[in-house]
Structures are given as structure tokens and as C-alpha cells.
Amino acid sequence: MAISLRPLHTLAVSLLLAGGLTVSAPSQALPISDCLAPADPGGGWDFTCRSVGKLLHELGLVDSPVRVINMPGGVGAVAFSNVAGKRAGDSNLIVATSTVGVTQIAQGRYPGDVDTMRWLAMLGTDVGVILVDDDSPYQSLDELLEAMVDDPTSVVMAGSSGIGGWDHVRALMLAKAAGLSSDQTGSVRWVQFDGGGPAVTQMMGGHVDAVSTDLGEIAGFIKSGDVRVLAVLADEPLAPPFDDLPTAVSQGYEVAGYNWRGFYTGGEVSDADYQAMVDTLKTLYDSPEWKQVAERNGLVPLWRGGDEFDAFVRDTADKVESISQEIGVIQ
């Protein structure tokens, strides 16, 4: 059974929220009555819908509880095609997505592209991290990247995504920033495990050299001192207790690798409705309650909304697409 571990730490809370939600909601003229989670109950997208849906109601931003619809399949492709085909103009609907969804789009795995949908906002993010075992020969990010640039096949990297997935792509973005040439990116060895935790334990067992994944998943190993963090892929240093971890930026590599959580809506939603939805989400983001929910689930609250978010999604998709072409995942 394919178990995605990335969203696990959010599972239980979302199930709790599920218990408190009523299913039927009378249709109102107010925006946002449905949230589509393109995954099984328990995943990260499901959590995004359930936590945001519940808060929207609690904060009085919507009249009745937001209905959460689970539509798993094709890493979000089933939901994407459903919205494009049936609910493209429905301004009551938000759909949960993340970096993973945009990566899928960039690699042509959804029936459509970024223009098919309207991108509302991101509300929080997990942060990428590059780590090695505590007795690894690589003492710093410089040393690791230097080894990769010298001989791309000399380092075995691992993470929780497949080849061309986000963990892989952001590690390569770093290697490129260190001077790895585009025709060499395909030779970097990459191994996928069923989550960041298993990848780290395989590294502790000496089977792989370095891991690229989300901080939230492997925080326990950092606290126990079993691993050495070479870089967090954030623009700014993180909040305590992770404030002493070095960012890639501070070491001279302009790379940020966020795994954000956010929403899109149908491509035919009017400008006025789109703006109203963005504003509603912004009000939610600004509340102390959201900060609490996010932090409790290992997310850093981070806002990008409206046009700014739209531009950000396009930029991410472009970067992923070009790297994917270089490593041969897509033509």
C-alpha cells in the first residue's frame, strides 16, 4: 500500500476536525461553501481543507460549516479535471493544493496547465532541509555541494519524492547554484523512500549520503542529534527551536525550497469573486487562531495571495519544468 508520510503529522488533527463537521450545508451567496481535498482523508491536502474550513466558520467568515469533499486520484489530477470540467465558474469552491500539485502541473501530469485554474493564496509552509549523518565526512553545505559538482555520481541523495519530485528538484536547484552544469543534473543519484523519516534512517544505516526533505517530518532526528543539518531552504532563519540552523542563503546559495499549502479555484471565476475569496483567506491568515493551527502542525505561517501568489506559482512551475527537462523526466 502506498503510504505517503509527508502529510502524516496532520492526519490526526484533521480526523478530529472531521468528527466535528456537519456534512450538509445550505447554499449561501457568501463565498466558499465547499473545499475539495484531492486526496484521501488524512493526507496533507485533506488537513488543509479541514483546518481552513473549520476556521472559516469559527471566525464567522462564512455562514455555515464548509463542506469538505475528498476526491483522491492521480496525485490531484482527478480533482483538477473535475473542477476544470464541471465547476470552473463556481466561486463557492476552493481546492487544496501545495508545491506537489504545482510540480505535477509543471510536468504535464494534470489535464491542463497553470492557466486552467485561478490561484488564490498560500497560508503556510513547510521548509526544505538538507542533512547528513552526524558522522558524515561532509561538515558543511559547501563541502557537500563541492563534491557533487566535482563528480555528480559521488553523492547518493535521498528524499520522500520520486525523481523530478519536489525534494529532488530543490536539491538540484542548490547544486546548480553551486555551479553544477545543466547537462550534469541528470547524473546526481537520487533515491526515493516512503517519507523523510525512512530516508533519514536509511542515511543513518549508511545506505545513502544525504537527505533532502521537509523539516517538519524529521524534526525529531535533529533534536536527538543523530543528523547534521547542512542547510534549511528558507529566506530567513527559522523561529526557535530551529533558529540556529544555517540557511542556504546565509551560506551564499540563493535557494529557498518551501513546501507551501494553499488553494486554487476554477479558471472561470470572475475577478470580483476571486478577489473576495482572496480577501476572506487573508482575514483567516491574519487571525491568531490560524497561526496556532499552523504551528501545531509543523507549518510556518506564510502569506502570498492574489496576483502575487499567481506569479509565484507560475515561477515555481517554470523552474520545475526546466529542471525536469534537464534531468529527462519530461521532454
Partner 1 sequence: MDILVFLLHGFAIALEPQNLFLALIGCAVGTLIGALPGLGPVNGVALLIPLAFNFGLSPTAALILLVSVYYGTMYGGRISSIVLNIPGDEPAMMTTLDGYPMALKGRGGEALGLSAVASFVGATVATIGLTLFAPLLVGFAIRFGPAEYFALFMLAFATIGGVTSGSFTKSFIAAGLGLLLGTVGLDPATGVSRYTFGLYELYDGIDFIAALVGLFAISECLLLLEDRRRETATNQELGSAIPGMKSARKCAPTIARGSLIGFVAGVLPGAGASLGSFLSYTLEKRWLGRKGDFGNGDPRGVAAPEAGNNAAAGGALIPMLSLGIPGSGTTAILLALLLSMNITPGPLLFEQQPDMVWGLVAALFIGNIMLLVLNVPLVGLFARVLRAPSWLLMPVVILVAFVGVYSLNNSAFDLYVMLAFGVLGYVLRKLDIPSVPVVLGLLLGGQMEFNLRRAMSISGGDWSILVSSGISIGIYAFAAALMAAGLLFAWWLKREEAGR
100-to-4, 7, 59, 213 alpha-carbon distances in Å: 12, 12, 29, 13
Nearest to 262 by CA among 49, 64, 85: 49
In the block, cell 473576495 appears at: 276
The answer to whether 70 contacts partner 1 (rule: CB under 8 A) is yes
User: Half-sphere exposure (CA, 13 Å, Cβ side) for 185?
Assistant: 25
Among 101, 159, 197, 266, binds partner 1 (CB under 8 A): 197
Question: Cβ 195 to partner 1, closest distance in Å?
Answer: 7
- Which of the stretches 55-63, 70-78, 88-96, 142-150 binds partner 1 when contact is defined by CB under 8 A? 70-78
Our finding on whether 325 is near partner 1 (CB under 8 A) is no
Pairing of β 93-98 and β 34-37: parallel
Q: Toward partner 1, which CB reaches closer, 110 or 119?
A: 110
Among 119, 166, 190, 285, binds partner 1 (CB under 8 A): 190
Cell for 5? 508520510
Among residues 221 and 258, whose Cβ is nearest to partner 1? 221
CA distance 52 to 33: 12
Q: Does 228 bind partner 1 (CB under 8 A)?
A: no
DSSP 112: S
Q: Are 38 and 78 in contact (CB under 8 A)?
A: yes
18, amino acid identity:
A
Q: By C-beta, is 59 or 77 nearer to partner 1?
A: 77
Is residue 101 near partner 1 by the rule CB under 8 A? no
In the region spanning residues 29 to 48, those forming contacts with partner 1, defined by CB under 8 A, are 40-42
Q: How far apart are CA 175 and CA 118, in angstroms?
A: 32
Decide if residue 86 touches partner 1 (CB under 8 A). Answer: no
Residue 329 touching partner 1 (CB under 8 A): yes
Q: Is 208 in the site for partner 1 (CB under 8 A)?
A: yes
Instruction: For partner 1, give the closer residue by CB, 18 or 149.
Output: 18
- Give one DSSP letter per residue of 47-99, joined into a string: HHHHHHHHHHHHTTSSSSPPEEEE--SGGGHHHHHHHHHH-TT-TTEEEEEEH
Give the residue with the Cβ less far from partner 1, 75 or 313. Answer: 75
Continuous segment of H or E residues that includes residue 292: helix 288-296
Per-residue x/- mask for partner 1, residues 153 to 182, rule CB under 8 A? x--x-----xxxx-----------------
Overall residue count recorded for the chain in this entry: 331
Binding partner 1 by CB under 8 A: which of 64, 81, 250, 325? 81
CA separation for the pair 123, 52 (Å, rounded) = 9
Sign of CA dihedral 192, 193, 194, 200: negative
| 11 binds partner 1, rule: CB under 8 A | yes
- Of 94 and 199, the one with the shorter C-beta distance to partner 1 is 199
Task: Give residues in contact with partner 1 (CB under 8 A).
Answer: 1-3, 5, 8-13, 15-16, 18-20, 40-42, 70, 72-75, 77-78, 81, 107, 109, 153, 156, 162-165, 189-195, 197-198, 201-202, 204-208, 219-221, 223-224, 226, 296-298, 329
